[in-house]
Structure 1
């Protein structure tokens, strides 16, 4: 068993630098059913570091200290039902940048921009 990474973590995990970690945690829970694994607060109550599990992957996040700008990113997530996930994301405050569409490479995919500006590409692989 590898010891170079924590149990249950993949070798690569997105790390989101956000403006409001509590809001992002809520978005990830509402959209992807994320399970919060860990949260560490600073003395001022802001979130220094948090981790959630989405399916088999860990996403890490934290708030930028001293009001610095967040670092926006683009992340792809495979989900069981792209249409349901897309609708859940919109209900959680995101807007659609690409509606669910069958793609020639075998996925049904869609795109969301969350309330803090991060892009989420979601897909369901279609069995053919």
Structure 2
């Protein structure tokens, strides 16, 4: 590994950590809490308008950030690969709490059991249980 990456990284974050800008930050945080058991660790409010300047959330072992879309930081959509041990148990609450089903839980030819949902902000979530070890994991 290149030594440039040998630096302090806050607990729960990785070298690359997601940062979501969304038009309805509060709504997305509530969805992630309800559907994926997200835990809110911290929240900063913009004193000028009361919007969420930055919220740190944790799902499983991963931290990420959410902010109200504004100015040059327009609403940006992305995709996430969410590893779980029971795809069906997380797929249903996601749909029940407002996600659009992209595809139902199914066995994939690459060895995952997986489903796909789109959250209320338009982000894709591939909910996946890894069933086989791949060559690069050896």
Normalising by structure 2, what TM-score?
Answer: 0.84
**Counterpart secondary structure, 2:31:** helix
Q: Among 67, 80, 89, which residue is 1:84 paired with? A: 89
Q: Which residue of 1 aligns with 2:45?
A: 41
Distance 1:59 1:48 in 2: 14
**Counterpart secondary structure, 2:113:** strand
**Counterpart secondary structure, 2:85:** coil
6-15 or 34-43, larger mean C-alpha shift: 6-15
Aligned ranges for residues 27-38 of structure 1 at < 5 Å? 27-38=31-42
Aligned ranges for residues 87-98 of structure 1 at < 5 Å? 87-98=92-103
Distance 2:12 2:102 in 1: 32
Aligned residues: 127
**Counterpart secondary structure, 2:33:** helix
* Aligned Cα root-mean-square deviation (Å): 1.9
Give the superposition deviation at 1:22: 1.0
**Counterpart secondary structure, 2:90:** helix
Q: Which runs of 5+ in 1 are unaligned?
A: none
Normalising by structure 1, what TM-score?
Answer: 0.90
Distance 1:59 1:8 in 2: 8
Matched, 1:15 2:9: no
- Summarize deviations over 1:2-29 as a string: whole Å, max 9, x none: 7521123222211111011111111111
Matched, 1:6 2:3: no
Distance 2:87 2:14 in 1: 23
**Larger radius of gyration, structure 1 or 2?**
2
39-48 or 3-12, larger mean C-alpha shift: 3-12
Distance 2:66 2:73 in 1: 15
Give the superposition deviation at 1:126: 2.4
